Amino acid sequence: MNKFLIRLLINAAALFLAVKVLEPHILMQNDAWYAYLVLALIFGFVNAIIKPLLMIASCPMIILTLGLGTLIINTLMFLFVGWLGNIINIGFTIPENKYLYAFLGALIVSLVSLILTRIFAPSKKN
């Protein structure tokens, strides 16, 4: 449970930073802390359930592009989270035809999540 809460807070912080950096292009109408936690919960669910299925289905593309296909999958997952956030009425929206900003948002979330996980997540080594 502790690991889950740490990952949730890390994802919320990464999403907060991505929204603030790309604010005119990625919108968050509800700027409350709980909105970012709900969004991080959705983001974690999408990354845990849907992303592995897409990674398996697109394995040939990932191999042919030497791993760069994962950036496309991350962008699609970020767009999907934006679509779900809009449907659930959290206030998180990525306007249509803003694929570059979805790519940048996914990149920011990935990098910030990687850095914060290295800093705050408990190590598996004992």
Q: 3-class DSSP state for residue 125?
A: coil
Quick one: pLDDT at residue 86?
Answer: 85
Residues 33 and 36: their CA atoms lie apart, in Å, by 5
The domain segmentation of the chain, as residue ranges, is 2-120
Q: Specify the amino acid at residue 75.
A: T
Quick one: pLDDT at residue 2?
Answer: 85
Give the CA dihedral 7, 57, 64, 117, nearest 10 degrees. 0
Quick one: pLDDT at residue 109?
Answer: 94
pTM: 0.87
Residues 124 and 117: their CA atoms lie apart, in Å, by 12
Q: 3-class DSSP state for residue 28?
A: strand
Quick one: pLDDT at residue 126?
Answer: 54
Please report, in tens digits, the pLDDT of each residue of the chain (126 residues total): 788 899 999 999 999 999 999 988 888 887 788 889 999 999 999 999 998 999 999 999 999 999 898 999 999 999 999 899 888 888 888 888 889 999 999 999 999 999 999 998 767 665
Give the pair of three-digit tokens for residue 83.
């679509």
Residue with tokens 């998180």: 92
